[in-house]
Chain A
Amino acid sequence: MQPFADTLTTVAVVTAADDPEASALPILPYLPELFFGLVAFAILYFVVKSKVVPNLEKAYADRTAAIEGGMEQAEQAQAEAEAARQEYVAQLAGARDEAARIREEAKEQGAAIVAEMRQQAQAEAARITETAHKQVEAERQQAMVSLRGEVGQISTDLASRIVGESLHDQARQTGVIDRFLAELEAGDVQRTQVGTGQES
């Protein structure tokens, strides 16, 4: 197992056979070794403290930062997506409101138009009726006037023929016809009294 080690051991034992250290108690320290151990550890400690640990800790910090940075980025992207979705939803709701509002307006406008049209039609109808009434009245007046003239003429002609003389001037002078017609219109003269006595 340990040829080399044992070689050295043997050599050491042989050359230092009368060495007091060889026969010293193994639990008592050999002071040069103790001091050497302290110095050796001090050197290693210095290297580890000044070079190794700072470098490793820096790498750890960078690693943590990189991981946290990535997570932060992902969170940011998520937040952005959420914001976009919110905006989209808001827009959609706005559009719905807008559509509803427009429909409502259209309905109202339609109703208003219908009402207006109806009013206009009614006014027009009333106007036409009025005009018609007026025309009929005018025509009736006209017919009445011409009828009156003609009836007067016919009546006097007839009477002249019956009497045998012209009553035109006299009748005109006395205004008999007009008076008669006026009475007739007023209903004071009943046709039955001058006619055959038959009721119409």
Chain B
Amino acid sequence: MILTSALPVPMADFPPSPSTFWQPLVNFGTVEILGMEMTLAITRPMVVMALSVGLLSWWLVATTKRAAVVPSKGQWFTEKVYDFVRNDVARDMIGSKEFMRFVPLLFAMFVLILANNWAGIIPPIQLPTFGRIGFPIALTLVIYVVYHWIGVQKHGVVGYFKFMIPPGLPAWIAPAIFVLELITFFITRPLTLALRLFGNMFAGHMLLLVFTLGAWELFTQGGFLTAVAIPAWIMSFAMVLFEALVQFLQAYVFVLLAASYIGGALADEH
């Protein structure tokens, strides 16, 4: 095809593979740390993350620096986002008594996840940062430490473990429940929290790659398959819109669950 040969851009391999997500922009080479080989690199998701932090900080500070009783348009918009996290997530999940302590944490987390998720469909970034599992693990680690810390702070070390057993259980079933709760508190919750976000972003991006690159593959085959590329591309547009929804939902679900874990640790009873 003339069109392909005229195109100066080299295309990614089809089908896409997990290695697609490994994008070192600056590679410092491989070093050996503690007997393990590790590549030192500044990856594209790192740059996107740094940019998002910079832009979010600028946006949030600029619109709230002179926060007034009668808000400006920018402040009004920021307030809408802030209110969503503050009232519909933090206050509803943690309770109106202690939620304010955790609003900065949850709000910062929500805007950071949302911005990076949507960056996954915004040209020219188009790589969801949280499709790299290091980032979901970082945020999950923060939540993990916070909810265990406040749980121990509230109930004491022994009290915290006692608190995991729901009251009113028959004595013979309590040990089994305790083990289950222990697994929930220390393994299931952080694992699912991180993997849910990672999996959605990773799979979503793969899906988009399949449709866009797949359409290109079809287009270059010629004949009937070229015609089939058109609906595939149309489908990829639909998938982008669908991804936008999923990316918002994942940001929401992440902070909602984080708030629920914090609220649970602060509860008087299991």
In the bound complex, do residue A13 and residue B46 qualify as a contact, i.e. CB atoms below 8 Å apart? no
Q: How far is the CA of A13 from the CA of B213 in the complex (A)?
A: 16
- Which B residue sits closest to A33, measured CB to CB? B134
In the bound complex, do residue B132 and residue A30 qualify as a contact, i.e. CB atoms below 8 Å apart? yes
A180 CB–B CB distance under 8 Å: no
Q: How far is the CA of A167 from the CA of B123 in the complex (A)?
A: 178
Chain A residues, Cβ within 8 Å of B100: 57
Within 8 A of B (CB), among A5-38: 5-16, 19-38
In the bound complex, do residue B202 and residue A26 qualify as a contact, i.e. CB atoms below 8 Å apart? yes
- Which B residue sits closest to A30, measured CB to CB? B134
Q: How far is the CB of B54 from chain A (nearest CB, A)?
A: 9
- Which A residue sits closest to B240, measured CB to CB? A1
- Which B residue sits closest to A45, measured CB to CB? B108
Chain A residues, Cβ within 8 Å of B82: 52-53, 56
Within 8 A of A (CB), among B229-255: 233, 236, 240
Chain A residues, Cβ within 8 Å of B18: 25-26
Given contacts A7-B10, A9-B12, A41-B109, contact A32 B46 (CB under 8 A): yes
In the bound complex, do residue B139 and residue A41 qualify as a contact, i.e. CB atoms below 8 Å apart? yes
B-side binding surface: helix, strand, loop or mixed? helix
Q: How far is the CA of A178 from the CA of B124 in the complex (A)?
A: 169
Q: How far is the CB of A33 from chain B (nearest CB, A)?
A: 3
Chain B residues, Cβ within 8 Å of A29: 132-134, 137
Q: How far is the CA of A133 from the CA of B145 in the complex (A)?
A: 132
Q: How far is the CB of A96 from chain B (nearest CB, A)?
A: 50
In the bound complex, do residue A55 and residue B64 qualify as a contact, i.e. CB atoms below 8 Å apart? yes
Given contacts A10-B10, A38-B141, contact A51 B64 (CB under 8 A): yes
- Which A residue sits closest to B59, measured CB to CB? A52
Q: How far is the CA of A49 from the CA of B9 in the complex (A)?
A: 44
B198 CB–A CB distance under 8 Å: yes
Interface size on A, residues (CB 8 A): 55
With a 10 A CB-CB cut-off, give which of B19, B79, B82, B123 has the most chain A CB atoms: B19
Chain A residues, Cβ within 8 Å of B22: 12-13, 16, 19, 21-22, 24, 30
Pick the interface stretch among A59-67, A82-90, A97-105, A157-165. A59-67
In the bound complex, do residue B139 and residue A56 qualify as a contact, i.e. CB atoms below 8 Å apart? no
Chain A residues, Cβ within 8 Å of B218: none
B164 CB–A CB distance under 8 Å: no
B20 CB–A CB distance under 8 Å: yes
A48 CB–B CB distance under 8 Å: yes
Given contacts A22-B19, A32-B41, contact A47 B49 (CB under 8 A): no
Residues of A at the B interface (CB closer than 8 Å) are 1-16, 19-38, 40-41, 43-45, 47-49, 51-53, 55-59, 62-63, 66
Identify 13 new A-B residue pairs, CB closer than 8 A, beyond the known A12-B44, A16-B22, A66-B69: A1-B211, A2-B123, A5-B126, A5-B127, A12-B22, A23-B19, A27-B195, A32-B40, A35-B138, A37-B139, A41-B109, A51-B61, A53-B107
